[in-house]
Structure 1
Amino acid sequence: MNSERLNFRHYTLSDFDDYFKLVSNPDVMKMITGRPLLENETRERLQKMMNINEEHPNIGHFKVSNKFDSNFVGHSKLVIIGKNEAEIGYVLMPEHWRKGYGNEIAKTLINLAKEIDEIQTLIAIIDPENIGSKRILEKQGFLWDYDGDYFGLPAAYYKMEI
Protein backbone atom coordinates (compact mmCIF):
# COMPACT_ATOMS: atom_id res chain seq x y z
CA MET A 1 0.00 0.00 0.00
CA ASN A 2 1.26 3.47 -0.84
CA SER A 3 0.32 7.10 -0.39
CA GLU A 4 1.78 10.18 -2.03
CA ARG A 5 5.04 10.09 -0.03
CA LEU A 6 4.84 6.87 1.99
CA ASN A 7 5.06 3.10 1.65
CA PHE A 8 3.08 0.88 4.03
CA ARG A 9 3.89 -2.80 4.49
CA HIS A 10 3.29 -5.47 7.10
CA TYR A 11 6.07 -5.96 9.61
CA THR A 12 8.62 -8.76 9.51
CA LEU A 13 11.11 -9.80 12.19
CA SER A 14 13.79 -7.87 10.30
CA ASP A 15 11.95 -4.65 11.22
CA PHE A 16 12.69 -5.07 14.92
CA ASP A 17 15.46 -2.44 15.07
CA ASP A 18 13.33 0.30 13.50
CA TYR A 19 10.29 -0.56 15.60
CA PHE A 20 12.40 -0.68 18.77
CA LYS A 21 13.93 2.72 17.94
CA LEU A 22 10.37 4.09 17.79
CA VAL A 23 8.85 2.51 20.90
CA SER A 24 11.93 2.92 23.09
CA ASN A 25 11.95 6.68 22.50
CA PRO A 26 10.62 8.47 25.62
CA ASP A 27 9.35 11.47 23.62
CA VAL A 28 7.38 9.20 21.28
CA MET A 29 5.91 7.00 24.00
CA LYS A 30 5.08 9.80 26.46
CA MET A 31 1.55 10.08 25.05
CA ILE A 32 1.06 6.41 24.20
CA THR A 33 2.13 4.20 27.09
CA GLY A 34 3.58 6.87 29.35
CA ARG A 35 7.00 5.21 29.14
CA PRO A 36 9.37 3.70 26.58
CA LEU A 37 9.09 -0.03 25.95
CA LEU A 38 11.83 -2.46 26.91
CA GLU A 39 13.44 -4.78 24.37
CA ASN A 40 11.51 -7.88 25.51
CA GLU A 41 8.20 -5.97 25.48
CA THR A 42 8.96 -4.76 21.97
CA ARG A 43 9.72 -8.30 20.74
CA GLU A 44 6.43 -9.56 22.22
CA ARG A 45 4.48 -6.68 20.71
CA LEU A 46 6.07 -7.13 17.28
CA GLN A 47 5.20 -10.83 17.31
CA LYS A 48 1.58 -10.08 18.27
CA MET A 49 1.35 -7.53 15.46
CA MET A 50 2.68 -10.05 12.94
CA ASN A 51 0.14 -12.63 14.18
CA ILE A 52 -2.68 -10.11 13.66
CA ASN A 53 -1.34 -9.42 10.17
CA GLU A 54 -1.49 -13.12 9.33
CA GLU A 55 -5.12 -13.29 10.48
CA HIS A 56 -6.11 -10.17 8.52
CA PRO A 57 -3.80 -9.90 5.49
CA ASN A 58 -5.53 -6.82 4.02
CA ILE A 59 -5.28 -4.71 7.17
CA GLY A 60 -3.21 -4.82 10.37
CA HIS A 61 -0.01 -3.20 11.56
CA PHE A 62 2.19 -1.44 9.03
CA LYS A 63 5.74 -0.23 8.94
CA VAL A 64 5.68 3.19 7.29
CA SER A 65 8.67 4.33 5.25
CA ASN A 66 9.45 7.27 3.02
CA LYS A 67 8.70 6.30 -0.58
CA PHE A 68 11.70 8.17 -1.96
CA ASP A 69 14.56 7.33 0.41
CA SER A 70 13.11 4.30 2.32
CA ASN A 71 13.78 5.98 5.69
CA PHE A 72 11.64 4.68 8.54
CA VAL A 73 8.86 7.17 9.32
CA GLY A 74 6.80 5.27 11.86
CA HIS A 75 4.06 2.80 12.63
CA SER A 76 0.41 2.67 11.63
CA LYS A 77 -2.47 0.30 12.21
CA LEU A 78 -5.94 -0.53 11.02
CA VAL A 79 -7.21 -3.38 13.20
CA ILE A 80 -10.59 -4.94 13.84
CA ILE A 81 -11.71 -4.36 17.43
CA GLY A 82 -15.35 -5.42 17.33
CA LYS A 83 -18.28 -6.20 15.09
CA ASN A 84 -18.09 -3.75 12.17
CA GLU A 85 -15.58 -1.63 14.07
CA ALA A 86 -11.88 -0.99 13.55
CA GLU A 87 -9.26 1.21 15.16
CA ILE A 88 -6.71 3.34 13.37
CA GLY A 89 -3.49 4.48 14.94
CA TYR A 90 -0.18 6.03 13.97
CA VAL A 91 3.11 6.82 15.70
CA LEU A 92 5.89 8.81 14.07
CA MET A 93 9.58 9.18 14.72
CA PRO A 94 10.20 12.70 16.15
CA GLU A 95 12.18 13.82 13.11
CA HIS A 96 9.02 13.31 11.06
CA TRP A 97 6.65 15.27 13.29
CA ARG A 98 4.94 18.35 11.82
CA LYS A 99 5.57 17.37 8.20
CA GLY A 100 2.03 16.26 7.34
CA TYR A 101 2.79 12.55 7.62
CA GLY A 102 0.16 12.02 10.32
CA ASN A 103 -2.55 13.38 8.02
CA GLU A 104 -1.26 11.33 5.12
CA ILE A 105 -1.21 8.13 7.19
CA ALA A 106 -4.69 8.73 8.65
CA LYS A 107 -6.15 9.45 5.20
CA THR A 108 -4.54 6.30 3.77
CA LEU A 109 -5.90 4.14 6.61
CA ILE A 110 -9.39 5.63 6.26
CA ASN A 111 -9.35 4.91 2.52
CA LEU A 112 -8.26 1.34 3.22
CA ALA A 113 -11.05 0.93 5.79
CA LYS A 114 -13.59 2.07 3.20
CA GLU A 115 -12.54 -0.88 1.02
CA ILE A 116 -13.30 -3.42 3.77
CA ASP A 117 -17.02 -4.28 3.75
CA GLU A 118 -17.21 -5.32 7.39
CA ILE A 119 -15.80 -2.02 8.68
CA GLN A 120 -18.53 0.53 9.27
CA THR A 121 -17.07 2.51 12.19
CA LEU A 122 -13.54 3.70 12.86
CA ILE A 123 -12.24 4.75 16.22
CA ALA A 124 -9.00 6.40 17.26
CA ILE A 125 -7.69 6.69 20.79
CA ILE A 126 -5.28 9.48 21.67
CA ASP A 127 -3.85 11.21 24.70
CA PRO A 128 -6.19 14.16 25.35
CA GLU A 129 -3.15 16.46 25.49
CA ASN A 130 -1.92 15.41 22.04
CA ILE A 131 -3.15 18.46 20.15
CA GLY A 132 -1.42 17.37 16.92
CA SER A 133 -3.30 14.06 16.78
CA LYS A 134 -6.54 15.80 17.70
CA ARG A 135 -6.12 18.14 14.72
CA ILE A 136 -5.29 15.24 12.41
CA LEU A 137 -8.36 13.26 13.43
CA GLU A 138 -10.71 16.22 13.17
CA LYS A 139 -9.27 17.20 9.77
CA GLN A 140 -9.99 13.67 8.55
CA GLY A 141 -13.60 13.80 9.76
CA PHE A 142 -13.40 12.08 13.14
CA LEU A 143 -15.61 13.42 15.91
CA TRP A 144 -14.78 13.38 19.60
CA ASP A 145 -16.83 10.64 21.26
CA TYR A 146 -15.79 10.66 24.93
CA ASP A 147 -12.90 10.91 27.37
CA GLY A 148 -11.97 7.86 29.37
CA ASP A 149 -8.93 5.82 30.10
CA TYR A 150 -6.89 3.36 28.09
CA PHE A 151 -4.95 0.85 30.16
CA GLY A 152 -4.91 3.28 33.06
CA LEU A 153 -3.89 6.35 31.05
CA PRO A 154 -6.15 9.28 30.13
CA ALA A 155 -7.61 8.86 26.66
CA ALA A 156 -9.78 10.76 24.22
CA TYR A 157 -11.89 8.52 21.99
CA TYR A 158 -12.74 9.70 18.49
CA LYS A 159 -15.18 8.06 16.07
CA MET A 160 -16.02 8.10 12.38
CA GLU A 161 -18.82 6.35 10.53
CA ILE A 162 -17.76 5.24 7.07
Structure 2
Amino acid sequence: MFSERLSFRHYATEDFNDYFKLVSSADVMKMITGRPLTEGETRERFDKMMEVNRENVNLGHYKVSIRENGAFVGHSKLVMTEKNEAEIGYVLMPEFWRKGFGEEIAKTLILRARKISEIATLIAIIDPENQASQRILEKQGFHWDSDGDYFGLPAANYKMKL
Protein backbone atom coordinates (compact mmCIF):
# COMPACT_ATOMS: atom_id res chain seq x y z
CA MET A 1 0.00 0.00 0.00
CA PHE A 2 1.31 3.45 -0.88
CA SER A 3 0.44 7.12 -0.53
CA GLU A 4 2.16 10.11 -2.08
CA ARG A 5 5.13 10.06 0.30
CA LEU A 6 4.70 6.85 2.26
CA SER A 7 4.81 3.09 1.91
CA PHE A 8 2.82 0.75 4.15
CA ARG A 9 3.57 -2.92 4.63
CA HIS A 10 2.77 -5.59 7.17
CA TYR A 11 5.43 -5.89 9.82
CA ALA A 12 8.12 -8.53 9.44
CA THR A 13 10.15 -10.08 12.27
CA GLU A 14 13.10 -7.80 11.52
CA ASP A 15 10.94 -4.70 12.17
CA PHE A 16 10.77 -5.27 15.93
CA ASN A 17 13.56 -2.80 16.75
CA ASP A 18 11.85 0.03 14.83
CA TYR A 19 8.55 -0.69 16.58
CA PHE A 20 10.29 -0.86 19.97
CA LYS A 21 12.02 2.48 19.32
CA LEU A 22 8.56 3.99 18.67
CA VAL A 23 6.65 2.58 21.65
CA SER A 24 9.52 2.92 24.15
CA SER A 25 9.51 6.70 23.64
CA ALA A 26 7.86 8.59 26.51
CA ASP A 27 6.98 11.48 24.17
CA VAL A 28 5.29 9.16 21.67
CA MET A 29 3.37 7.13 24.23
CA LYS A 30 2.26 10.05 26.41
CA MET A 31 -1.17 10.20 24.74
CA ILE A 32 -1.50 6.48 24.01
CA THR A 33 -0.63 4.46 27.11
CA GLY A 34 0.55 7.29 29.34
CA ARG A 35 4.01 5.70 29.55
CA PRO A 36 6.60 4.01 27.36
CA LEU A 37 6.36 0.25 26.91
CA THR A 38 8.97 -2.16 28.20
CA GLU A 39 10.74 -4.53 25.83
CA GLY A 40 8.63 -7.42 27.16
CA GLU A 41 5.35 -5.53 26.66
CA THR A 42 6.48 -4.53 23.19
CA ARG A 43 7.36 -8.12 22.27
CA GLU A 44 3.92 -9.29 23.41
CA ARG A 45 2.16 -6.60 21.35
CA PHE A 46 4.38 -7.18 18.34
CA ASP A 47 3.70 -10.92 18.36
CA LYS A 48 -0.07 -10.27 18.51
CA MET A 49 0.21 -7.81 15.62
CA MET A 50 2.08 -10.37 13.55
CA GLU A 51 -0.66 -12.92 14.28
CA VAL A 52 -3.39 -10.48 13.15
CA ASN A 53 -1.40 -9.81 9.97
CA ARG A 54 -1.15 -13.54 9.19
CA GLU A 55 -4.93 -13.94 9.60
CA ASN A 56 -5.96 -11.26 7.10
CA VAL A 57 -3.82 -9.97 4.25
CA ASN A 58 -6.17 -7.01 3.55
CA LEU A 59 -6.07 -5.63 7.10
CA GLY A 60 -3.65 -5.42 9.96
CA HIS A 61 -0.74 -3.52 11.41
CA TYR A 62 1.59 -1.66 9.06
CA LYS A 63 5.10 -0.34 9.24
CA VAL A 64 5.01 3.11 7.64
CA SER A 65 8.12 4.37 5.88
CA ILE A 66 9.18 7.19 3.57
CA ARG A 67 8.92 5.89 0.01
CA GLU A 68 11.98 7.79 -1.14
CA ASN A 69 14.51 6.58 1.43
CA GLY A 70 12.84 3.92 3.61
CA ALA A 71 13.06 5.98 6.82
CA PHE A 72 10.78 4.61 9.54
CA VAL A 73 7.89 7.04 10.11
CA GLY A 74 5.73 5.00 12.45
CA HIS A 75 2.93 2.52 12.91
CA SER A 76 -0.57 2.35 11.48
CA LYS A 77 -3.42 -0.10 11.74
CA LEU A 78 -6.68 -1.03 10.09
CA VAL A 79 -8.25 -3.85 12.11
CA MET A 80 -11.73 -5.27 12.48
CA THR A 81 -13.32 -4.56 15.87
CA GLU A 82 -16.70 -6.18 15.29
CA LYS A 83 -18.93 -7.15 12.39
CA ASN A 84 -18.82 -4.41 9.72
CA GLU A 85 -16.64 -2.14 11.89
CA ALA A 86 -12.90 -1.49 11.73
CA GLU A 87 -10.55 0.75 13.68
CA ILE A 88 -7.86 2.95 12.22
CA GLY A 89 -4.88 4.12 14.22
CA TYR A 90 -1.48 5.66 13.72
CA VAL A 91 1.56 6.58 15.80
CA LEU A 92 4.47 8.63 14.47
CA MET A 93 8.09 9.08 15.45
CA PRO A 94 8.51 12.63 16.87
CA GLU A 95 10.68 13.81 13.98
CA PHE A 96 7.67 13.30 11.67
CA TRP A 97 5.14 15.22 13.78
CA ARG A 98 3.48 18.34 12.29
CA LYS A 99 4.48 17.52 8.72
CA GLY A 100 1.16 16.18 7.40
CA PHE A 101 2.04 12.51 7.80
CA GLY A 102 -0.80 11.77 10.23
CA GLU A 103 -3.31 13.11 7.73
CA GLU A 104 -1.67 11.19 4.88
CA ILE A 105 -1.81 7.95 6.88
CA ALA A 106 -5.46 8.48 7.86
CA LYS A 107 -6.44 9.15 4.23
CA THR A 108 -4.62 6.04 3.05
CA LEU A 109 -6.26 3.81 5.67
CA ILE A 110 -9.70 5.21 4.86
CA LEU A 111 -9.18 4.57 1.14
CA ARG A 112 -8.13 1.00 1.96
CA ALA A 113 -11.19 0.50 4.17
CA ARG A 114 -13.53 1.73 1.42
CA LYS A 115 -12.25 -1.12 -0.80
CA ILE A 116 -13.22 -3.78 1.76
CA SER A 117 -16.93 -4.58 1.48
CA GLU A 118 -17.15 -5.95 5.05
CA ILE A 119 -16.36 -2.52 6.50
CA ALA A 120 -19.32 -0.15 6.85
CA THR A 121 -18.06 1.94 9.77
CA LEU A 122 -14.64 3.12 10.86
CA ILE A 123 -13.74 4.08 14.40
CA ALA A 124 -10.74 5.83 15.89
CA ILE A 125 -9.88 6.12 19.57
CA ILE A 126 -7.70 9.02 20.70
CA ASP A 127 -6.67 10.83 23.84
CA PRO A 128 -9.23 13.64 24.30
CA GLU A 129 -6.35 16.10 24.70
CA ASN A 130 -4.76 15.14 21.38
CA GLN A 131 -6.05 18.07 19.35
CA ALA A 132 -3.82 17.25 16.37
CA SER A 133 -5.41 13.81 15.94
CA GLN A 134 -8.85 15.29 16.54
CA ARG A 135 -8.32 17.77 13.68
CA ILE A 136 -7.01 15.02 11.39
CA LEU A 137 -10.00 12.78 12.06
CA GLU A 138 -12.59 15.53 11.68
CA LYS A 139 -10.98 16.72 8.44
CA GLN A 140 -11.32 13.17 7.08
CA GLY A 141 -15.03 12.99 7.96
CA PHE A 142 -14.99 11.37 11.39
CA HIS A 143 -17.39 12.66 14.04
CA TRP A 144 -17.06 12.52 17.80
CA ASP A 145 -19.20 9.64 19.08
CA SER A 146 -18.53 9.37 22.81
CA ASP A 147 -16.02 9.74 25.60
CA GLY A 148 -14.90 6.78 27.62
CA ASP A 149 -11.77 5.01 28.67
CA TYR A 150 -9.27 2.89 26.82
CA PHE A 151 -7.33 0.52 29.07
CA GLY A 152 -7.94 2.84 32.01
CA LEU A 153 -7.04 6.08 30.22
CA PRO A 154 -9.43 8.80 28.99
CA ALA A 155 -10.53 8.24 25.40
CA ALA A 156 -12.50 10.12 22.77
CA ASN A 157 -14.24 7.79 20.35
CA TYR A 158 -14.76 8.90 16.76
CA LYS A 159 -16.83 7.25 14.01
CA MET A 160 -17.22 7.49 10.27
CA LYS A 161 -19.78 5.76 8.06
CA LEU A 162 -18.29 4.62 4.78
TM range (shorter): over 0.9
Q: Which residue of 1 aligns with 2:98?
A: 98
Secondary structure at the aligned position of 2:128 is classed as coil
Distance 2:76 2:133 in 1: 13
Distance 1:45 1:13 in 2: 13
Q: Which runs of 5+ in 2 are unaligned?
A: none
Q: Which residue of 1 aligns with 2:83?
A: 83
TM (norm. structure 2) is 0.99
Distance 2:99 2:18 in 1: 19
**Percent of pairs identical after alignment?**
72
Q: Which residue of 2 aligns with 1:145?
A: 145
Distance 2:105 2:58 in 1: 16
Distance 2:24 2:152 in 1: 20
The answer as to 2:58 corresponding to 1:58 is yes
Aligned length: 162
TM (norm. structure 1) is 0.99
Distance 2:126 2:19 in 1: 20
Q: State how 1:12-51 maps to structure 2 within 5 Å.
A: 12-51=12-51
Secondary structure at the aligned position of 2:18 is classed as helix
**Could you give the per-residue CA deviations for residues 112-138 of structure 1, whole angstroms, max 9, x where no partner exists?**
000000000000000000000000000
**Could you give the per-residue CA deviations for residues 12-38 of structure 1, whole angstroms, max 9, x where no partner exists?**
110011000000000000000011000
**Could you give the per-residue CA deviations for residues 52-91 of structure 1, whole angstroms, max 9, x where no partner exists?**
0111111100000000110000000000000100000000
The RMSD of aligned alpha carbons is: 0.4
Q: CA deviation at 1:7?
A: 0.3
Amino acid at match of 1:47: D
Distance 2:12 2:45 in 1: 12
Secondary structure at the aligned position of 2:113 is classed as helix
Q: Which runs of 5+ in 1 are unaligned?
A: none
**Could you give the per-residue CA deviations for residues 106-160 of structure 1, whole angstroms, max 9, x where no partner exists?**
0000000000000000000000000000000001000000111011000000000
